[in-house]
Structure 1
Amino acid sequence: MAKQYDVLFRLLLIGDSGVGKTCLLCRFTDNEFHSSHISTIGVDFKMKTIEVDGIKVRIQIWDTAGQERYQTITKQYYRRAQGIFLVYDISSERSYQHIMKWVSDVDEYAPEGVQKILIGNKADEEQKRQVGREQGQQLAKEYGMDFYETSACTNLNIKEPISFTQPRKVRTCMTEGLKLVGGSSEDSNQEDVTLTVDTGPTQHRLHFAMLLGN
């Protein structure tokens, strides 16, 4: 049986309940949008396999519950993520203010150096906006994160950008000599792969995470 993918990336969506994490997940994996809000219980995930420069990449995205009563469960998933999206709702100042708490959780439970991306979701609800784009940019800058405003409803900054971790970086790595190094995985007997770039005597290990944005 042909191998279904070459590289597996685990990515995590975190943020307050109701900010649209599940909608972002469904829009990317299934190209669907559901306007009704159904709270995630514990954790859920979806997968999508894409191809970038001949490499089959399986993206596994974990959607976590925002309610406090589930956070003991969801924090267990932080340590295995290659990238973490911290999501707030641009029409909710409260969800924006809580990002600092979510960042603290990531710093405590996630692997050192994991890439963090700040997402201001529901950008289609401009008339209800409570958080300016500049505020999101400033907060992201303070914590060393990339920042994007998205809309699962209108498909803004979802389909193309979320499809892979920094495509330009990947192409650069390919030209420098990309090696795929396999490893073991604890869940579902799936194979983890670390991307290592061979630039001569020294090999530089790269940590990849998806970026939402062009």
Structure 2
Amino acid sequence: PAETRARLPTLYSPAPAAAPPISLIRPITILVGDSGVGKTSLLVQFDQGKFISGSFSATVGIGLTNKVVTVDDTKVKLQIWDTAGQERFRSVTHAYYRDAHALLLLYDITSKSSFDNIRAWLTEIHEYAQSDVVIMLLGNKADMSSERAIRRDEGERLAREYSVPFMETSAKTGVNVELAFTAIAKYVTVFPRHSLPAHNSLKIKNKAAARKITRLCAELVQTFPRAAFSRFLL
């Protein structure tokens, strides 16, 4: 009957289209830098959203944390390795460099020695990591401005010298912490590994990646209430 036919579209409306499958990317990210710069605290802030007061015992060897973040429609499972900064563990951390997709290189803004050692860390990275590894320089403990030993512009100048992106972070307040990790996650989804040409020069091989990460951070920063994106390396 006409009445039944009229109801058919309602009674037998097609099922909604299935959502496209969500892919899962597993990039390896390594935290490096001198002992005491706050690598473990930074990771705890990103993973658990909290700051544990008091000093952590120095990391022995290397530790692993997995954290899943969603970038657009892609789930990214960041495998984050927290490395020991002491000299006696360097041979252990060197073995992990080669598989790394990204390296977050930290110094403590209240410690001149940790900043002075950044060049040595970059030399090691150049020697042991893949030529297309993504490097981001982070000046940690930004909440301790009254004890600052390294000015922001000094960090920016060093980052420009090596053509790596830079920002200051605070594991205590959370400023820029999620932004830094999410920028790495977004980068590896948009620009797959080996999309950049290999080059013997550490400066040249990072230049394109630095510009891309900077652009991604500029897009992401509006979504992070605790971000302080001023004067990020362009």
Instruction: Give the TM-score category using the shorter length.
Output: 0.7 to 0.9
Superimposed CA distance per residue, residues 120-163 of structure 1 (whole angstroms, 9 cap, x where no aligned partner): 00000001000000000000000111001000100100124422
Say which structure is richer in strand: 1
Count of residues in correspondence between the two structures: 183
CA distance in 2 between counterparts of 1:65 and 1:169 reads 25
Higher-Rg structure is 2
Residue in structure 1 matched with residue 30 of structure 2 by the alignment: 12
Sequence identity (%): 39
1:146 aligned to 165, 174, 177, which one?
165
Shift in CA distance, 154/211, structure 1 to aligned 2, threshold 3 Å: farther
Deviations, residues 36-79 of structure 1 (Å, cap 9, x unaligned): 22100000111111222211110111110000111111111100
Superimposed CA distance per residue, residues 67-98 of structure 1 (whole angstroms, 9 cap, x where no aligned partner): 01111111111001001111000000010000
TM-score, normalized by length of structure 2?
0.71
Contact 2:107 2:115 in 1 (8 A): yes
Structure 1 pair 165/54, CA: closer, same or farther in 2 (3 Å)? same
More displaced stretch, 31-40 vs 83-92: 31-40
The structure 2 residue matched to 1:125, chosen from 124, 144, 148, is 144
Aligned to 2:85: 66
Task: Specify the code of the residue in structure 1 equivalent to 2:46.
Answer: F
* Structure 2 stretches lacking a partner, 5+ long: 1-20, 198-208, 222-234
Who is 2:116 aligned against? 97
The whole-number CA distance in structure 1 between the counterparts of 2:58 and 2:152 is: 26
Q: TM-score w.r.t. structure 1 length?
A: 0.77
Equivalence map 1:191-206=2 (5 Å): 195=192, 205=195
Which digits, 9 at most, give the CA deviation of each residue in 1:136-191, with x for residues without a partner? 00000001110010001001001244224264895xx5xxxxxxxxxxxxxxxxxx
Give 2:59's aligned residue. Answer: 40
Q: Where is the helix percentage greater, Structure 1 or Structure 2?
A: 2
**Structure 2 Cα separation of the partners of residues 98 and 154 of structure 1:** 25
